[in-house]
């Protein structure tokens, strides 16, 4: 039976940050994502299996921003008073029904506009982990899941970038260019991004 746990809402407070990722206050989630967005703290998680396949999720159709787009394994926001390590573990369990050790990679600031609907304006911390067990998607957050090998992912991103969230494409490009040997040993990509 599909899990339908409600794990977030528009009124929950997000952590506002400055250009150096220093906490400067909080605002409701809905306010942080309207118009051009308000800079707030977030995280993204990339989980691979032992075959170096990346777990992708298709965002639920009810999402305000980028509904039904493919994205990385999990992404969300830490809560006030919560460490980032607590936040990433909590959300992975809430969305996908499993836990695994998660390791910090890097953080970056980005802005992505979703037409007139709103925007993501985030200081995003990026983590990775490995998992070969069961995955139990929360259908309030996720419409579909799949593991994809790196070669196929590169082809899809080149051929159909409009199917993917902007933050995932930015993060994957940085991971591919700087951390691929850490995340996917034995996989090599040529100078033009080709495998």
Q: pLDDT (tens digit, 9 = 90+) per residue, 44-63?
A: 999 999 999 999 999 999 99
**103 is a domain residue:** yes
Span 84-95, average pLDDT = 96
Residue 135 belongs to domain spanning = 13-183
Euclidean distance between CA atoms 147 and 154, whole angstroms: 13
In this prediction, residue 11 has a pLDDT band, given cuts at 50, 70 and 90, of low
pTM of model > 0.95:
no
**17 is a domain residue:** yes
Active site includes 75? yes
pLDDT at 149: 96
pLDDT at 12: 87
The 10 Å Cβ neighbour count of residue 170 is: 16
**193 is a domain residue:** no
In the set 120, 122, 141, 171, the catalytic residue is: 122
Euclidean distance between CA atoms 125 and 84, whole angstroms: 8
**139 is a domain residue:** yes
Number of domains in the chain: 1
Which DSSP letter does residue 138 get? Answer: B
In this prediction, residue 188 has a pLDDT band, given cuts at 50, 70 and 90, of low
**79 is a domain residue:** yes
- With 90 as the cut, is the pLDDT of residue 165 above it? yes
**6 is a domain residue:** no
The burial of 113, by beta-carbon neighbours within 10 Å (0-12 exposed, 13-18 middle, 19 or more buried), is given as middle
Active site includes 31? no
Euclidean distance between CA atoms 184 and 174, whole angstroms: 14
The 10 Å Cβ neighbour count of residue 11 is: 9
Q: Tens of pLDDT along 100-157?
A: 999 999 999 999 999 999 999 999 999 999 999 999 999 999 999 999 999 999 999 9
**192 is a domain residue:** no
In the set 32, 75, 95, 141, the catalytic residue is: 75
In this structure, what CATH number is given to the domain that contains residue 173?
A: 3.90.79.10
pLDDT at 185: 80
**45 is a domain residue:** yes
Span 32-48, average pLDDT = 97
Phi, psi dihedrals of residue 164, rounded to the nearest 5°: -115, 150
């Amino acid at each position: 039976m599909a899990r339908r746990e409600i794990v977030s809402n528009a009124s929950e407070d997000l952590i506002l940050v400055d250009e150096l990722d220093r906490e400067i206050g909080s605002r409701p989630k809905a306010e942080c994502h309207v118009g051009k967005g308000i800079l707030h703290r977030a995280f993204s998680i990339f989980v691979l299996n032992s075959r170096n396949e990346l777990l992708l999720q298709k965002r639920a159709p009810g999402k305000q921003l980028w509904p039904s787009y493919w994205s990385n394994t999990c992404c969300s926001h830490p809560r006030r008073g919560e460490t980032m390590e607590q936040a990433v573990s909590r959300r992975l369990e809430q969305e996908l029904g499993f836990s695994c050790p998660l390791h910090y990679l890097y953080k970056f600031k980005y802005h992505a506009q979703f037409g007139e609907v709103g925007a993501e304006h985030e200081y995003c911390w990026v983590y990775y982990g490995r998992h070969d067990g069961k995955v139990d998607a929360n259908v309030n957050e996720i419409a579909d899941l799949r593991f994809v090998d790196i070669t196929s992912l590169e082809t899809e991103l080149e051929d159909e970038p409009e199917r993917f969230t902007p933050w995932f494409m930015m993060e994957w490009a940085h991971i591919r260019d700087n951390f691929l040997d850490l995340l996917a040993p034995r996989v090599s990509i040529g100078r033009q991004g080709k495998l």
